[in-house]
Amino acid sequence: MSQIQSPNQTIYVAHEYYDIRAELEKRPGSPPCVQVRTFAQLEQIIPQAEILVISMLWRDSLLERAPRLKLIQSISSGVEQFDLEQIRARDIHLCNARGANAAVVAEHALALMLSLSRRLYEARDNQHRAHWSGTGMDDRPRLQELTGKTVLIIGMGTIGDRLARICLALGMQVRGMRHSSRPLDVPGVTQVMASDLHAAMGQADHIVLTCPLTPQTEGLMNQRAFAAMKRDACLINVARGRVVDESALIAALRTNAIAGAALDTYADEPLPSTSPLWQLPNLVMTSHVAGETQFYERNVVDILLDNTRALETGGPLRNQIV
């Protein structure tokens, strides 16, 4: 791997929303920064950029126009939008923002679990029509509590570990899976191996997806997986949309093969208005906002500045993917 010698050079940022430049300006001694917010502007600045901070505006075609690029700092934890082989072949380094939103994504997953078990979505609908739905009324299934329930977390990384600790604190039984068979980091979590995944799915009350989108995880929640789940179990996806086979999920929800689901991410984003997902009564949806937090810029800039310093000193990069 080549050693990068990088002076205190300009940081180029391409993001529509997060104000990384303003956050950098709060940090004494940080490098100068240029931030653009559209792909057209990005195409203008990319030839100058050695350090680029970016997320979903990335297109692999940009590589042809980026002769000076040395480091891509992803603003997101997921990096499926980058062609890792092409980036490696160009001797460019890629680091992700793993950890920047781990706490809040875990909180969002918990919020979705609670929304399903307490059916907060129904309460909100009732509120809008001034309808009182007390205990025993409306012939609805009983509300549930999470305490004592079993959660299966698929993807025991920064988000999964954090969620596991929260679930343990709630008195849940926690089972977790990671890519490798290396023992899990959170005491009290029962490790599930890939060969036992479907059996574990059949024992879980809640399955939470917190893994990256990879060839191994694409379509992980397919018809067979839904068939393995208990009829009163729920699926929560805060990973990536394509980890779930949406057609299989729609069928499972329509036939009550599972009790409910909550999605933050979708195969196609923004979700088209024609998607049948919008109409399902036993589905809670958020619009890929699980990682959103008022601390996002602060947390990303902490990682970014560690990495610009590492470029100067030749030290190890943080969250290095390539």
Ligand X SMILES: O=C(O)[C@H](O)CO
**Token pair 């060969």: residue:** 195
77 contributes a contact to ligand X by CB under 6 A: yes
The one of ligand X, ligand NAD, none whose footprint includes residue 55, by CB under 5 to 8 A per kind, is ligand X
Q: What Rg value do the Cα atoms of the chain yield, rounded? A: 22
Instruction: Report, in Å, the least distance between residue 294 CB and ligand X.
Output: 15
Instruction: Determine the Cα–Cα distance for residues 305 and 84; give it in Å rounded to an integer.
Output: 22
Contact region for ligand X (CB under 6 A) — 40-48, 75-83, 128-136, 171-179?
75-83
Instruction: Determine the Cα–Cα distance for residues 62 and 39; give it in Å rounded to an integer.
Output: 10
288 is catalytic: yes
Instruction: Report, in Å, the least distance between residue 269 CB and ligand X.
Output: 10
Instruction: Report, in Å, the least distance between residue 111 CB and ligand X.
Output: 16
Among 55, 144, 299, 308, binds ligand X (CB under 6 A): 55
Task: Give residues in contact with ligand NAD (CB under 6 A).
Answer: 77-78, 98, 101-102, 105, 154-160, 177-179, 210-214, 216-217, 238-240, 264-265, 288, 290-291
| In contact, 2 and 91? CB cutoff 8 Å | yes
78 contributes a contact to ligand X by CB under 6 A: yes
Alpha helices (H) in 63-207, listed in sequence order: 84-89, 102-117, 120-128, 158-169, 197-201
Q: What character string, x for contact with ligand X (CB under 6 A) and - otherwise, covers 197-226?
A: ------------------------------
Instruction: Report, in Å, the least distance between residue 172 CB and ligand NAD.
Output: 19
Strand extents, DSSP E, 143-205: 150-154, 173-177, 190-191
- Tell me, what DSSP letter sits at residue 239? S
Instruction: Determine the Cα–Cα distance for residues 103 and 94; give it in Å rounded to an integer.
Output: 23
240 is catalytic: yes
Instruction: Report, in Å, the least distance between residue 76 CB and ligand X.
Output: 3
- CB burial string 183-192: b at 16+ within 10 A, e below: ebebeebebb
* Strand pairing class (173-177; 283-285): unpaired
Largest Cα–Cα separation, the chain: 69
Contact region for ligand X (CB under 6 A) — 63-71, 72-80, 155-163, 228-236?
72-80
Q: By three-state DSSP, how is residue 69 classified?
A: coil
Instruction: Tell me how long the chain is.
Output: 322
The one of ligand NAD, ligand X, none whose footprint includes residue 154, by CB under 5 to 8 A per kind, is ligand NAD
The one of ligand X, ligand NAD, none whose footprint includes residue 158, by CB under 5 to 8 A per kind, is ligand NAD
From the candidates 240, 246, 297, 318, give the one annotated as an active-site residue.
240
| In contact, 164 and 103? CB cutoff 8 Å | no
Residue number closest to ligand X, CB atom: 76
Instruction: Report, in Å, the least distance between residue 106 CB and ligand X.
Output: 13
Q: What character string, x for contact with ligand X (CB under 6 A) and - otherwise, covers 262-301?
A: -----------------------------x----------
Comparing CB distances to ligand X, the nearer of 78 and 160 is 78
Number of CB atoms found within 10 A of residue 56's CB: 15
From the candidates 178, 288, 297, 318, give the one annotated as an active-site residue.
288
101 contributes a contact to ligand X by CB under 6 A: yes
Amino acid identity at 297: E
Q: Is 163 left (phi over 0), alpha (psi -120 to 50) or beta?
A: alpha
The one of ligand NAD, ligand X, none whose footprint includes residue 35, by CB under 5 to 8 A per kind, is none
Number of CB atoms found within 10 A of residue 141's CB: 8
108 is catalytic: no
- Give the interface with ligand X as residue ranges (CB under 6 A): 55, 76-78, 97, 101, 291
Q: Which residues are catalytic?
A: 240, 269, 288
